Structure 1
Amino acid sequence: MLTPDERIAQLIMVAGYSNRNGAYEDSLATLVRVHRLGGVVMFQGGPVRHAKLVNRLQALSAVPLLIAIDGEWGLGMRLDSTVRFPYQMTLGGMAGQDDLIYQMGADMARQCKRLGIHINFAPVVDVNNNPNNPVINFRAFGEDKYAVTRKGLAYMRGMQDNRLMTSIKHFPGHGDTGVDSHYDLPVIAKSRAQLDSLELYPFRELINAGAAGVMVSHLSIPALDSARNFPATLSSKILTNLLRDELGFQGLTFSDAMNMKGLTKFYPAGVSDRMAVEAGMDVLEFTEDVPRAIAEIKQAITEGRITQASINARCMKVLLAKAWVGLDAYKPTVLDNLVADLNQPQSELINRKLIEASLTVLKNDGNLLPLRNLDSLRIATVALEAPTPTAFQQMAGNYTQIDHFNLTSAMADTTLARIQAQLANYNLLLVDVHLSNIRPGARYGMQAKTAALVQQLAATDKAVITVFGNAYAIDKLPGIDRARALVMPYQLTPMTEELSAQLIFGAIGASGRLPVTVNSQYKLGAGITTFSLGRLKYTIPEEVGISSAYLAQQVDSVVNAGLQAKAYPGCVVQMAKDGKVIYRKAYGQTVFAEPLGQPAVAITPRPVRLDDLYDMASVTKISTSTPALMRLVDLGLFDVDATMSAYLPGYKRSNKANLVWRDVLTHQARLRAWIPFWRETKNEDGSFKPKTFSNVRSRRYPIEVTDSLFLHRSYPDRIFEEIKDSPLNEKKAAGESEYVYSDLSFYLYPQIVKRLAGEDFEEFLKKTFYRPLGATTLTYKPRLSYPLNRIVPTEYDSLFRKTLIWGRVHDEGAAMLDGLSGHAGLFGSANDLMKLMEMYRQRGSYGGRQYLSPAVLTEFTRYQFPELGNRRGLGFEKPAYKYNANAPRSASASSFGHSGFTGTFTWVDPAYNLTYVFLSNRVYPTRENNKISSMNIRTNVMEALYKAMKRGI
């Protein structure tokens, strides 16, 4: 049985902080224990510290405490190391999809319950129709009362349906104020009719829908209570007559914080608490002087201004609320895995979906967005007020070659002028404006020159501007309407930056609409719909129904086993499902730490990076020759059922004249597997034969094989003659397979492409595929375009080149062709190789462009001669009929790809919408190390993806 004092105490919630010292916590514990308080509102701190403190306080309470948090945008609003959902104005930008807001509320409930929190003082259902509102502003869903109501209802239901109490706020409506009630008492000089029509509308609707709590604010509203300097918190006309009697609210009323100057400026602590209870308040939040508050309320009971029965009734409401949230079976918060439990991938997925749905395109001249024709664009990103590379810049760099610039208003004018002069070299500027503050009182975080810089860049007539900040800030940026496109993500976070870049490049579409009127040009509801172009989207596995933890554990176990066995120094793994990149990770180092025994080539290991360039080895075949042939087929210039001599006139009298290209491309034309051309340049004593190599470059010896080894200019002709004149393998008996994997025909495709298309092989590939795809790192001879620290070394060649092969093709034959062949020589990053493979998966389409016809892709990637036991497509490797580790065990019959000698592998499985890239330098320091194959590392890594996909979340 609670004493009369304890019944009063149940109506009081004090503030709690878990980021203060032991003396503070002791004083809070004493306050709770001595006065038997009803609850604590927790503010700043961290989750573990919070849980420890709350557990301690609960242990001191005979009646469990009601623990509250003011977490409008999640626990991250108050606690570090926790989830931060979008601001409500960001959510206001969502055109529909209120079910996502419900999911957010439900996840909020999950997190709060895990942390021992029972009530969230949210949602804000104020209608923010005052752009200069200093306190609500971005905290509101917007200025449309219907949207505010709809979204607030979804948020409230998500929490309450999962047994988290809510307190809708700030009754009767704080949206049209120019004063912050934390510092003074705002006055809303509106008529009752105006209030009924706008401010009260969301409250009425949510109360009718079953709101558990209502927070009453410190507002003076003469139309509701004419008493001067009299906040709603203390007004019986507002608390009882309006809220209880007229609107029919039967839940718990909570005061706004009782320490706010909008109240304490006129009414002292304790006295104001008593006045609020007299007016009908159920729960006092953030009471500053507990003893005085209890004494004042007791005195009011004695004097008959408050009845004991009303105190008893309110106390019972609090106790029933505690039972509803589960405190009748209270258990302390378990500390084990607390941070991990609070930060579940499902929360990140909800966050991503909310932000993606809110992104708003406010201007899009000529339908510039999403960006098309990347090969026609010279792009620079310009990050304003961001001195270091931003998440926006890093994400944009995933889509194509981009140069990055970072400007701040603190830079010298001469520096700014120099950089702006450099920007003249680009025909598209992606400007990301970083506003460090969301509040109007801080000028939205604008520095002195921010607006001027935006105006100058917009005036170039080639700027796409993204403003990472409050939507109202647009009105403070004169000239921004000169931008070719304008994107509004509503706030500055790594996730808004990343998703905005993905929007610009067409990985995702835009459907957001402005939730407020910014100015006469950008009004409520403004927004332009854009659509995805099918470029790679970068997200988390949960978006495609896969557990990120399980996938990472499975992939890590395979890759790390290879690292431990020294199967390779390091590698990059990239996986995509449904066109969404769900796994990207760099492992290990570029080289082993042990010295090679060759001081002249000793290099310092460094961690592998995602954008490192690797020698693709035989993956070159399906990244250069095969797509080139497919394109020629589409153009009607090449027929796979023609003979070799049809496109190689010099072969008309050779033993290969009548070989059919379909047989050649499926490795059953009886061509020799390979020819060791380099060996023929050597004498028996190991020296080079005359007229083969020179140690000095010259017109006669122009082909650079190493820094000090140059091949004679005529030697490539000798290689091609040797291929033409090479004997065929003996014909097999009837019924026996003629299959022999051969490199030889792939030496010839650059010549065929040049003859049929009239362009050099590499330029044809870059113009037709790589540049439009944004796969700009795919290149031959990478030393010409990239520094060595971007390129991963391959083998120390102790037999032929006598040096470390670094930035030059590993394959000897390709090296003797100046690094360019159709069978080897291509370098690139995992991300850029995946773009090409993803284009294959999308049946020849990518980024809004059709590169190859679906018909030609179907033809090239199907089994050509299954009746002969030949597992090959045209150029492509396919799964063997009986598993032999050339493909993942679970790969479908429609899948295809290729492996490379240096330790590379890529695979596409259209049946499951999977695309996979594995790049390594397993030949470092020697090709004799074949553990990557004996351990089936490359295929087992992808098998982990199939396992994770089958397991689900």
Structure 2
Amino acid sequence: MKKDIINSLSIKEKLAQMFIMGFSGFELVQENLNIQKAVKMGLGGIIFFANNIKSIEQTSNLSKSLQNMAKIPLFISIDQEGGLVERTINCKEKLEYLTPMALCSTGKVENVKAHTEIMAQELRAMNINMDFAPVLDVNTNKNNPIIGIRAFSNDPEKVIKYSEAVYKTLKENNIMAVGKHFPGHGEAWADSHLEMPAINLDFNELEKIHIKPFKKAVENGLYAIMVAHVHYSAFNQTEKIPASLSKEVVTGYLKDKLGFEGLIISDDMAMGGITRHYEELTACIKAINAGIDLLIFRDSMNIQLLDKLADAVGDGLISEEKINQSVGKILSSKEKYNIIDGLNQEIENLDITKEQIKIDSIALESIKIEKKGDLIPLNKANKVLILSPDKSQIHSYAQDRQKISDFLKLTSCKEVSYSLNPDDIEIQQIKEEIKSSDIVIFISYNAILNQRQIELFKEINKPVIAIAAGIPYDAEKFQKADTILLSFGYKTPALKALASIISG
């Protein structure tokens, strides 16, 4: 069947199978005809973002509409990691998840499995068949601006232990897990969405720490891997080229040395790690020649690339044999995950309330009491001032309006939101608020990356409970606090759990 399909496709249609594209809109309308044209032409897959998802039913119907017009059944993909990266943020009725680091904090693999099982049910209910998760990065750099709590840990053994439950549970639910970001984004000092980070670790350290979770996942049957737009001098010393375009990384190491035979997928080719250094066509040619099977573009306006790439094949810049190999792998994986034969299966209704209770229970286990003083359980007779970072300034939480005060239920409590990097004027205003309080609850979010939060904390002259709601390394700066809590996330499940622990 696979061979028959490949032989029936033109070179442009084969190339179309090698693309996963995004678009705007909750339904297929005149404004997104581009993606409809690409799907009818033979596009390999779709990636959904928050601007495609407003309810489970709507997304399911959108998936079905796309599949029904597809020349070849589509990968319907999503970045749904949990806790920080969740594309369902615009849903009216949705599940709120935990970050990988919060799950690791529970110390229980069964919690990761249960959490992933719930997530898989939600994805299946939306007719999504590919998830760009788990994150296999080892977050060794405390100042990493983009990974942080998206990683399970800074310990490769813990990443191996807890990520396995994610990709195996997704597979059990017929959802293709995509481990990322090979060969490891955890030591980066820059965000590859904005620029191309350079990691200058020696080869031995890369293998011993950062590649280790990927190697183990390959041995355990992980079927798809996403490659990072990060330069690694251990692989490419003379040319600053991202791993996603490096033949040494993709073919020489991932395929040949690790023996990986599954799908190899680029990170989004519209990210700054690519666009600030390469013209679109050049980047695609390099990626395909490096060994990438599937290229992600968040915008379907790139459909004209297919004609240019077809010309590049004709000009001998890309071998048709390489195209056929990738398309063969793509079609095989669609058969393996029942995408070709299992379209639009009926999915049981998801009980969001019931499943959220399960997640909230896991969240309670995830909170770490780094330092236990006399302030918890909280004396409700005290006047409490809560200082919390403004969620609207944190991209992943911008749509979330929940506050910890919503769950503490104190009679004398005021919650003040502060800027991620408050200036002197704002800090002075907050100092005035502190004067009338008995106790301060100070919530930070990645304070070691937003140093003015630390300056604000220093000005607190009342007994204080400090909460690191982002990366846990903030706690090092809060040692004067009576109590220090780590939540590894700033969404509703974490806030409920924190409130429960503080209240006693």
Structure 2 distance, partners of 1:487, 1:297, is 53
CA deviation profile, 1:792-822 (whole Å, cap 9, x unmatched): xxxxxxxxxxxxxxxxxxxxxxxxxxxxxxx
Following superposition, the deviation at residue 16 of structure 1 comes to 2.8
Q: Call closer, same or farther: CA 1:282–1:74 in 2, change over 3 Å.
A: farther
Structure 1 distance, partners of 2:227, 2:264, is 7
Kindly indicate whether the alpha-carbon contact (under 8 Å) linking 1:32 and 1:60 is maintained by their aligned counterparts in 2: yes
Kindly indicate whether the alpha-carbon contact (under 8 Å) linking 1:258 and 1:264 is maintained by their aligned counterparts in 2: yes
- Please name the residue that 1:245 is paired with: 256
SS at match of 1:72: coil
- Please name the residue that 1:356 is paired with: 364
Kindly indicate whether the alpha-carbon contact (under 8 Å) linking 2:27 and 2:62 is maintained by their aligned counterparts in 1: no
Kindly indicate whether the alpha-carbon contact (under 8 Å) linking 1:136 and 1:174 is maintained by their aligned counterparts in 2: yes
Structure 1 distance, partners of 2:42, 2:120, is 26
Kindly indicate whether the alpha-carbon contact (under 8 Å) linking 2:385 and 2:415 is maintained by their aligned counterparts in 1: yes
Kindly indicate whether the alpha-carbon contact (under 8 Å) linking 1:102 and 1:156 is maintained by their aligned counterparts in 2: no
SS at match of 2:252: helix
Which structure features the higher share of helix residues? Answer: 2
Counterpart among 22, 28, 32 of residue 25 in structure 1: 32
**One-letter code aligned to 2:77:** A
- Please name the residue that 1:501 is paired with: 499
**One-letter code aligned to 1:264:** T
Structure 2 distance, partners of 1:494, 1:108, is 16
Following superposition, the deviation at residue 210 of structure 1 comes to 0.8
Counterpart among 265, 268, 277 of residue 279 in structure 2: 268
State yes or no: 1:317 paired with 2:329. Answer: yes
Following superposition of structure 1 onto structure 2, how do residues 464-475 of structure 1 map, counting pairs within 5 Å?
Answer: 464-475=465-476
Structure 1 distance, partners of 2:155, 2:496, is 29
CA deviation profile, 1:6-35 (whole Å, cap 9, x unmatched): 2222111111333589333222212222x3
Counterpart among 374, 383, 387 of residue 386 in structure 2: 383
Kindly indicate whether the alpha-carbon contact (under 8 Å) linking 2:388 and 2:417 is maintained by their aligned counterparts in 1: yes
CA deviation profile, 1:179-231 (whole Å, cap 9, x unmatched): 21112111111111111111111111111111110001111112112342211
Kindly indicate whether the alpha-carbon contact (under 8 Å) linking 2:60 and 2:125 is maintained by their aligned counterparts in 1: no
Following superposition of structure 1 onto structure 2, how do residues 50-129 of structure 1 map, counting pairs within 5 Å?
Answer: 50-73=59-82, 77-79=86-88, 80-81=90-91, 82-94=94-106, 96-129=107-140
State yes or no: 1:152 paired with 2:155. Answer: no
Identity fraction in percent? 24
Structure 2's unaligned 5+ residue stretches are: 391-400, 420-424
**One-letter code aligned to 1:499:** A
Following superposition, the deviation at residue 348 of structure 1 comes to 0.9
SS at match of 2:198: coil
Moved more, 262-271 or 120-129: 262-271
Kindly indicate whether the alpha-carbon contact (under 8 Å) linking 2:447 and 2:474 is maintained by their aligned counterparts in 1: no
Given the two structures, how large is their TM-score scaled by the length of structure 1? 0.46
Following superposition of structure 1 onto structure 2, how do residues 465-864 of structure 1 map, counting pairs within 5 Å?
Answer: 465-475=466-476, 477=477, 480-506=478-504
Structure 1 distance, partners of 2:321, 2:467, is 58
CA deviation profile, 1:708-747 (whole Å, cap 9, x unmatched): xxxxxxxxxxxxxxxxxxxxxxxxxxxxxxxxxxxxxxxx
Kindly indicate whether the alpha-carbon contact (under 8 Å) linking 1:383 and 1:432 is maintained by their aligned counterparts in 2: yes
Structure 1 distance, partners of 2:64, 2:309, is 29
Structure 1 distance, partners of 2:329, 2:260, is 13
- Please name the residue that 2:245 is paired with: 234
Q: Call closer, same or farther: CA 1:493–1:343 in 2, change over 3 Å.
A: farther
Structure 2 distance, partners of 1:439, 1:253, is 35
Counterpart among 394, 405, 420 of residue 414 in structure 2: 405
CA deviation profile, 1:660-712 (whole Å, cap 9, x unmatched): xxxxxxxxxxxxxxxxxxxxxxxxxxxxxxxxxxxxxxxxxxxxxxxxxxxxx
CA deviation profile, 1:893-938 (whole Å, cap 9, x unmatched): xxxxxxxxxxxxxxxxxxxxxxxxxxxxxxxxxxxxxxxxxxxxxx
State yes or no: 1:344 paired with 2:347. Answer: no
Following superposition, the deviation at residue 303 of structure 1 comes to 4.9
State yes or no: 1:279 paired with 2:285. Answer: no
Q: Call closer, same or farther: CA 1:408–1:357 in 2, change over 3 Å.
A: closer
Structure 1 distance, partners of 2:25, 2:139, is 32
Given the two structures, how large is their TM-score scaled by the length of structure 2? 0.84
State yes or no: 1:4 paired with 2:19. Answer: no
SS at match of 2:412: strand
- Please name the residue that 1:327 is paired with: 339
SS at match of 1:64: coil
Structure 2 distance, partners of 1:26, 1:390, is 37
**One-letter code aligned to 1:347:** E
**One-letter code aligned to 1:493:** K
Q: Call closer, same or farther: CA 1:346–1:319 in 2, change over 3 Å.
A: farther
Structure 2 distance, partners of 1:149, 1:369, is 37
Following superposition, the deviation at residue 49 of structure 1 comes to 4.2
Kindly indicate whether the alpha-carbon contact (under 8 Å) linking 1:128 and 1:136 is maintained by their aligned counterparts in 2: yes
Q: Call closer, same or farther: CA 1:420–1:21 in 2, change over 3 Å.
A: same
Kindly indicate whether the alpha-carbon contact (under 8 Å) linking 2:75 and 2:130 is maintained by their aligned counterparts in 1: yes
Structure 1 distance, partners of 2:128, 2:15, is 22
SS at match of 1:486: strand
CA deviation profile, 1:273-312 (whole Å, cap 9, x unmatched): 1221111111111176655543454345445554434322
Following superposition, the deviation at residue 118 of structure 1 comes to 0.7
Following superposition, the deviation at residue 342 of structure 1 comes to 4.8
Following superposition, the deviation at residue 233 of structure 1 comes to 1.0
Q: Call closer, same or farther: CA 1:308–1:83 in 2, change over 3 Å.
A: same
**One-letter code aligned to 2:207:** D
Q: Call closer, same or farther: CA 1:71–1:412 in 2, change over 3 Å.
A: closer
State yes or no: 1:194 paired with 2:195. Answer: no
Structure 2 distance, partners of 1:74, 1:409, is 22
Structure 2 distance, partners of 1:74, 1:408, is 21
Structure 2 distance, partners of 1:325, 1:432, is 48
Kindly indicate whether the alpha-carbon contact (under 8 Å) linking 2:375 and 2:482 is maintained by their aligned counterparts in 1: no
- Please name the residue that 1:707 is paired with: none
Q: Call closer, same or farther: CA 1:60–1:344 in 2, change over 3 Å.
A: same
CA deviation profile, 1:844-890 (whole Å, cap 9, x unmatched): xxxxxxxxxxxxxxxxxxxxxxxxxxxxxxxxxxxxxxxxxxxxxxx
Q: Call closer, same or farther: CA 1:226–1:413 in 2, change over 3 Å.
A: closer
- Please name the residue that 1:168 is paired with: 179
SS at match of 1:256: strand
- Please name the residue that 2:397 is paired with: none
Structure 2 distance, partners of 1:247, 1:225, is 18
Q: Call closer, same or farther: CA 1:226–1:72 in 2, change over 3 Å.
A: same
Structure 2 distance, partners of 1:66, 1:171, is 21
Following superposition of structure 1 onto structure 2, how do residues 365-384 of structure 1 map, counting pairs within 5 Å?
Answer: 365=373, 368=374, 371=377, 378-384=381-387
CA deviation profile, 1:471-522 (whole Å, cap 9, x unmatched): 23445x5xx322221112122223322211222344xxxxxxxxxxxxxxxx
Following superposition, the deviation at residue 116 of structure 1 comes to 1.1
Following superposition, the deviation at residue 247 of structure 1 comes to 0.7
Alpha-carbon RMSD: 3.2
SS at match of 1:482: coil
Structure 2 distance, partners of 1:412, 1:25, is 44
Q: Call closer, same or farther: CA 1:416–1:132 in 2, change over 3 Å.
A: closer
- Please name the residue that 1:178 is paired with: 189
Larger radius of gyration: 1
Following superposition of structure 1 onto structure 2, how do residues 433-472 of structure 1 map, counting pairs within 5 Å?
Answer: 433-435=442-444, 443=450, 451-457=454-460, 459-460=461-462, 462-472=463-473
- Please name the residue that 2:44 is paired with: 38
CA deviation profile, 1:150-179 (whole Å, cap 9, x unmatched): 111121112112211011000011111112
Kindly indicate whether the alpha-carbon contact (under 8 Å) linking 2:38 and 2:303 is maintained by their aligned counterparts in 1: no
